[in-house]
Amino acid sequence: MISPEHLIAPFEGLVSPDLQSVLLSWIKNRIFERRVSAHTVKNYLHDLKSFFEFQKEHHSTPLKIKDLSTLELQDFRSFLAYRLSKGLSHRSNARATSALKTFFKYLKKNHDIENTDIITLRSAKFLNSLPRPLNIDEALALTCDPSLKEQEPWIEARDQTLFTLLYGCGLRISEALNLSVNDVKNATRFLTIRGKGNKERLIPLLPFITRKIDEYLEKHPQRNCPSAPLFIGKQGGVLNPAVAQRQLRHLRLSLGLPETATPHALRHSFATHLLQNGADLRSIQELLGHSSLSTTQRYTKIDPGHLSRIYEKTHPRT
């Protein structure tokens, strides 16, 4: 894991030392106390750095802690407008707004620094588009076929097991990469997953999933170290998500699958196929770890026949 001190280095000279110190404490709070993923923290820091760069350019001096409470709504709006003028999307601005609000909320709670204007800051609303789900044959092909023949056997087993967990358990790739050897060694019927907000959920393990895990553990270079990451890279650390995406891209090309065959699409295929086979939305919500049912309900738009099938099956006049 990259140290918080390393993550804060790009802010040197951009903000005052006292603000840099507060940023460091915020990063530690996110990573160690709130258990936010390193990927999310890096994204938030990228947006905060962009914000401080914009403010420094317009104020001609690095921001100090005391300046944060005096920033006006127009300062925030100008920053978002500037991003749009540079070609960034409303989606990107929504993330930047979230980063700013999260940071200022931390300032109020932990450092008694409050900015009331940011409370009223709004970014354009949008709906995340769901990736097109794979059909069952396409999804199974990604979990059954070896990646690249010239690779070491443990890497082929690693990739197959990772893709099997994404499709067979509906995991986010970050959730799969957070698993340790011990997490799966002790799992027989259920797997405990720590999702967003460090919320735990239980996922049933089907026989084909446990077989893949067992086959991989036999070849895992660190199988005798319980705390080792389940999915490791060639250097022995946690597998980089970009490497997993690259491996799937190679496999997708070798199988002649569409570009929509991505790690995220495997999770959505899991939900869509459950829906198509009669699973209720509440159960799918629990399996996916969605906090809101409305998020899960969007899958009915991918499979519009779902509601018709329920209607035909349950209405007394059909």
Model pTM score? 0.59
**Which pLDDT score is estimated for 301?**
61
**Which pLDDT score is estimated for 182?**
93
Q: What are residue 15's phi and psi, to 5 degrees?
A: -130, 165
Strands (E) in 222-262, as ranges, are none
**Which pLDDT score is estimated for 147?**
53
**Which pLDDT score is estimated for 215?**
93
Domain coordinates in residue numbering, the chain: 4-120, 136-313
Query: pLDDT (tens digit, 9 = 90+) per residue, 284-297?
Result: 888 988 877 777 77
Render each residue's pLDDT in the chain as its tens digit; 318 residues: 568 788 888 888 889 999 999 999 998 888 777 777 777 888 889 999 999 999 988 878 888 999 999 999 989 999 998 888 888 888 888 889 989 999 999 999 999 999 999 988 876 555 555 667 888 888 888 888 655 555 788 999 999 999 999 999 999 999 999 999 999 987 778 999 988 777 889 999 999 999 999 999 999 999 899 999 999 999 989 999 999 999 998 888 888 888 888 898 899 899 889 888 888 888 888 898 887 777 777 766 655 555 555 545 554 554
**Which pLDDT score is estimated for 32?**
76
**Which pLDDT score is estimated for 315?**
45
**Which pLDDT score is estimated for 199?**
84
**Which pLDDT score is estimated for 311?**
47
Query: pLDDT (tens digit, 9 = 90+) per residue, 73-102?
Result: 989 999 998 888 888 888 888 889 989 999
Instruction: Quote the CA–CA distance of 158 and 232 in Å, as a whole number.
Output: 8
**Which pLDDT score is estimated for 304?**
52
**Which pLDDT score is estimated for 126?**
53
Contact partners, residue 219, CB within 8 Å, separation at least 6? 153, 154, 157
**Which pLDDT score is estimated for 124?**
58
Q: Of 159, 220, 150, 234, which Cα lies nearest the Cα of 185?
A: 220
**Which pLDDT score is estimated for 144?**
81
Q: Long-range contacts of range 147-152, CB-CB < 8 Å, 24 or more positions apart?
A: 147/247, 147/250, 147/251, 148/247, 148/250, 148/251, 148/254
By annotation, the residues acting in catalysis are: 172, 196, 264, 267, 290, 299
Architecture of domain 136-313: Orthogonal Bundle (1.10)
CATH code for the structural domain at 4-120 = 1.10.150
**Which pLDDT score is estimated for 115?**
92
Instruction: Quote the CA–CA distance of 34 and 253 in Å, as a whole number.
Output: 39
